[in-house]
Amino acid sequence: MSEFLEEVLSYVDLDEASQALLRDLHPRLAPYFPAVADRFYDAVWAHPGAAAVLTGPEQVDRLRRTLIDWMSSGLLGPFDEKFHEKRSRIGRRHVQIGLKQQYMFTALSVVRTAYTEYIFKLYDGEHAQPVVRAVGKLLDMELALMLRHYQLDSEEKLVARERHIQAERLIAMRTLSAGLAHEVRNPLNAARLQLELLERRLRRQFGNDVKLVEPSELANHEIERLTALLDDFLTFARPPELHLHEQDVIEICRHVVELERPLADKRGVHLQFTEPAPIVASIDAGRLHQVIQNLIRNGLEAAPRGGHVSLAVHNGENTVHVRVSDDGPGIPDDVRSRIYEPFFSTKESGTGMGMAIVHSLVTLHGGTIDLTTDKTGTVFEITVPQRRPG
């Protein structure tokens, strides 16, 4: 039994005694199911908002038979995983056709009223009340199961909206980055050439005088650092075209782990990767390598000495999931909300481009990246399509 169904059954207290009452009610109430269904659709047709999702008599006839089956299975049970899946299909269908959730309450109110009226006709007063209470528990459970899919749909739309906002923000930052990189690159290259010329003249005239050469070497080092930063800007601002090929994701992960093992040993962090069977996907191996390496390195920097960073890969339904987790202190809320912003970094020497580039490359693959964090650690999970359309 699913955890959600078990929780709902417990909350409404639909125990064995109540279920026995419902099973006893079934053969008595079954002859009246068609009449209840008629009342149900009379109420639907009377409300334009609810009737708007109906296409005509043929659909209503089909839905009427479905409703009778729903009433029968609701009374009989059993309330197991099969029951849960059947109710979930109904809830998902209501969301798909755009039926407003308030009609769940009004529709079940019609059924509840009809059931109650028939129960008082079928049972004497002393025995009717427990049956009415059992039916109330059943319909409350039915309502909870169906409304859950409206909640799930709202959560999915919220996530999609947040990702859309993030994408628009990244587009704006890419435009800024591209312009900045273009304006800086030419004078930076000119400065490097002039510095090299100056250094050669100094060496010819004064030899390898450290006092004269060292400042020029230092300036050259800083120019190289700025050039590397500029390259990061361009990688973010003008994402490269992906070269998709059938690649073993496990092999890529293995290579990244081998490269990062010395850093893990130096920091005293246990880097773990339990290799599953090969998982082949249509990806850009170099770009996925860059993404995974960046996430592992961040995890190694976050984990305490003696801590752990774990890499895991598994298949989904036409997707590949790569999960990197650490047992560091977690990411504060104010940092989490900005983690994919370009130029934002909590590291003293950080450029703030690493996670922006990770997000960009994952998005280029048609994938998503999800973050879970608290005081016990952080988990990044990348999901990419196993096969790209076309």
Give the chain's mean pLDDT.
80
Quote the CA–CA distance of 234 and 237 in Å, as a whole number: 5
What share of the chain has pLDDT > 70, as a percent?
Answer: 77
Instruction: Give mean pLDDT, residues 253-263.
Output: 93
pLDDT digits (tens, 9 = 90+) for 71-118: 888 888 888 888 877 777 776 666 665 666 666 667 778 888 888 888
CATH number for the region 245-385 comes to: 3.30.565.10
Cα(248)–Cα(279) distance, rounded to whole angstroms?
A: 5
96, 135, 102, 89: which is closest to 116 by C-alpha? Answer: 135
CA-based nearest residue to 291, from 190, 369, 345: 369
Q: Which two tokens stand for residue 249?
A: 């994701």
Model pTM score: 0.49
Per-residue pLDDT reduced to its tens digit, 171-221: 666 666 666 666 677 777 788 888 888 878 877 877 777 777 777 778 877
Q: What is the pLDDT of residue 322?
A: 95
DSSP 2-28: -HHHHHHHHHHT--HHHHHHHHHHHHH
Which residues are 385's β-sheet partners? 319
The span from the CA of 355 to the CA of 340, in Å, is 5
Question: At residue 295, does pLDDT exceed 90?
Answer: yes
Q: What is the CATH number of domain 3-156?
A: 1.10.490.10
Residue 164 to residue 384: CA distance in whole angstroms: 18
Question: Domain spans of the chain?
Answer: 3-156, 165-237, 245-385
Query: What is the C-alpha radius of gyration for the chain, rounded to an integer number of angstroms?
Result: 32
Residue reference for tokens 């659709």: 41
Is the pLDDT assigned to residue 156 strictly greater than 60?
no
Strand, coil or helix: 310 = strand
